[in-house]
Chain A
Amino acid sequence: MRTLYFFSCLCFLFFSFKTYAVDSPEEMLANPQLEKRAETIGSQLRCLVCQNETIEESSAPLAKDLRQKVREKLVAGDSDEKIMQWMVKRYGNFVRLNPPFNLYTSLLWFIPILSFFGGIILAFGHIRKKTNCTENLSAEEKKHITELLHEPRP
């Protein structure tokens, strides 16, 4: 019983349920396939009022207008990509919650790899330096060591 309880709690930890703020069912399209596409597009678009919510989640009036716009365009037969471009043309790449891969964002994607290899190169350099510095001892140093080794213990 206890394990069952534990695992059901785990389920809640790992799965977040999508919540949409579509204010009234009237907003939804009658065609379930189109509605599904509208939700997919909408969940990739940033609400520009409450900036970390998608337009599907937000209750802001502008988000509602944008949701409606997406649905209007879907009904008119536009492709998902075309609708995305339409939004980007008006609101910039900022409106996309999934930033595109381009010159500006490339550093964002490559920094983990760059720093990993940079670290490896640094570490190798360091280890090589360490092993290289075992120079032979001079005669004077050898003599000093034997003296220390053969010193009588107190």
Chain B
Amino acid sequence: MKDIARRRLIFSLPLITTLGAGTGFYVMLSRLRTGSFDPKEIKTPQISLPYFNLERVSPFPSFNRNELLRQTKPIVINFFASWCVPCLTEMAILNQLSHKIDIWGIAYKENSHAINEFFSRNDNPYKRIAQDTKGDAGIQWGLTGVPESFLVLPKGIIISHIPKPLSERDVETISNTIG
């Protein structure tokens, strides 16, 4: 009798394995489809503010590293570019988020003229704008593309890096984090 139970157990092993793996794959694929799981997503381990230089974009109020360090409230840093379509579609969400938290924009590989043109067509969600003409600040921040956003707490502590356009869910998460 014991032997039969053992045999049954051994024969059911492949079935159990298949069921387990199947469930795993199903969860993975359905999460891939809804976008809550992305195997290509890059989360860079930034915790302290990197060193970076930015240039002014007139007529917008500008900022640099020291000013970001001196802040007493959280700031969202958003890398964007006028030539980037996902950035354009992200503007609506950013305008929504700008009611809850100050957003500072870094224009990635841009020129002042294109930025001015961009904001003559779109509402500006940014309190301050600076530009990273050569993309060097982007590398310092661990940027892999535009748009990407960082939530920066006072004293320059980066607590989250969202390496894709912000979604409604991200807006919620950010407003929950800052309370």
Contacts and interface: CB of A to CB of B under 8 A. Distances in A.
Interface residues of B, number: 18
Main SS class of interface, B: loop
Interface in A39-94: 48-49, 51, 61-62, 65-66, 69, 89-92, 94
A69 B42 CA distance: 20
B43 interface: yes
B144 interface: yes
Given A49-B145, A62-B145, A94 B139 contact: no
B135 A48 contact: no
Nearest to A46: B42
A90 B142 contact: yes
Contacts, number: 38
B42 A48 contact: yes
B111 interface: no
Interface residues of A, number: 13
A19 to B, nearest CB: 23
B50 interface: yes
Residue with the highest number of chain B CB atoms closer than 10 Å, among A49, A61, A65, A90:
A90
Given A61-B135, A91-B142, A92-B45, 8 more contacts: A48-B144, A49-B145, A51-B40, A62-B135, A90-B50, A90-B139, A90-B141, A90-B142
Interface of B: 40, 42-46, 50, 109, 134-136, 138-142, 144-145
